[in-house]
């Protein structure tokens, strides 16, 4: 059987998503650390693997996949006999994808390492200014997401079992806490995150549990 390898960084939200998805799908994998702080994503060997120089990248069945949402949907389609990350209904799948993208496309990219480095190096923003930027964009995104989730409450983000939106939500809440976002104004998001934290698939994917993959 071909080894499944996840290239990632322990604190990367995108890699965190894929760890959760692999765990929910009960798929074994080995982690290959790519230390973003040391610039290992720009090493020629890694760029030959993934020319974008981003994490995560997943090697599965001899094929390389990139971009966390694409990887998660691949896993759902390639391994249909395990827990489904997307609901069965057409409109429900569209809703989950839209909410997941509101995190992965509208919130997370504005505070990833490349953006923060540009703010500092090119625009002269100091640490306090960068953190203000991060908190603003996370809070802006969470304000809309809180309303959308609270309008249709469930045990988890969208349903009575965890799925793709939960995979995206938990890493974003971790980032929000890391950067000091006031989560008291997002009670529904906090409740869902707490419920998910009790599930093994999410607990073992937490950055604090990745000592061997730093």
Give the residue extent of every domain in the chain: 5-83, 90-201
Which fold, 90-201?
Glutathione S-transferase Yfyf (Class Pi); Chain A, domain 2 (1.20.1050)
> Average pLDDT over the chain, rounded to whole?
95
Q: Write down the pTM of the prediction.
A: 0.96
Strands 30-33 and 5-8: parallel
Single out the residue of 204, 190, 198 nearest to residue 162, CA to CA: 198
Per the CB < 8 A criterion, the answer to whether 202 and 193 are in contact is no
Single out the residue of 72, 63, 67 nearest to residue 53, CA to CA: 67
Per DSSP, the three-state class of 106 is coil
Which fold, 5-83?
Glutaredoxin (3.40.30)
Token pair of 134 as six digits: 């991060």
Per DSSP, the three-state class of 204 is coil
pLDDT at 213 over 90: no
- What pLDDT is stored for residue 211 in this prediction? 74
Tens of pLDDT, residue by residue over 16-29, are 999 999 999 999 99
- Per-residue pLDDT, averaged over 173-194, amounts to 97
- What pLDDT is stored for residue 3 in this prediction? 84
pLDDT at 191 over 90: yes
Dist CA 86 CA 29 (whole Å): 21
- Per-residue pLDDT, averaged over 181-204, amounts to 98
Tens of pLDDT, residue by residue over 77-130, are 999 999 999 999 999 999 999 999 999 999 999 999 889 999 999 999 999 999
Per the CB < 8 A criterion, the answer to whether 157 and 170 are in contact is no
| Cis check: omega of the bond before 163, within 30 degrees of 0 | no
């Amino acid at each position: 059987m071909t080894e499944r390898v996840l290239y990632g960084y322990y604190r990367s939200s995108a890699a965190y998503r894929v760890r959760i998805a692999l765990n929910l799908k009960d798929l074994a994998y080995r982690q290959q650390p790519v230390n973003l702080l040391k610039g290992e994503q720009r090493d020629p060997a890694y760029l030959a693997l993934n020319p974008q120089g981003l994490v995560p990248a997943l090697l599965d069945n001899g094929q390389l996949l990139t971009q966390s949402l694409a990887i998660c949907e691949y896993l759902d389609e390639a391994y249909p006999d395990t827990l489904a990350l997307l609901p069965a209904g057409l409109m429900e799948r569209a809703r989950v994808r839209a909410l997941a993208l509101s995190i992965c496309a509208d919130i997370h990219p504005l505070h990833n390492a490349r953006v923060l480095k540009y703010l500092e190096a090119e625009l002269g923003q100091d640490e306090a200014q960068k953190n203000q930027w991060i908190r603003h964009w996370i809070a802006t995104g969470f304000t809309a997401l809180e309303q959308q989730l609270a309008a249709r409450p469930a045990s988890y983000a969208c349903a009575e079992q965890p799925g793709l939106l939960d995979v995206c939500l938990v890493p974003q809440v971790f980032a929000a806490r890391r950067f000091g976002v006031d989560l008291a104004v997002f009670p529904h998001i906090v409740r869902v995150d707490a419920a998910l934290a009790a599930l093994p698939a999410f607990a073992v994917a937490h950055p604090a549990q990745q000592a061997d993959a730093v």
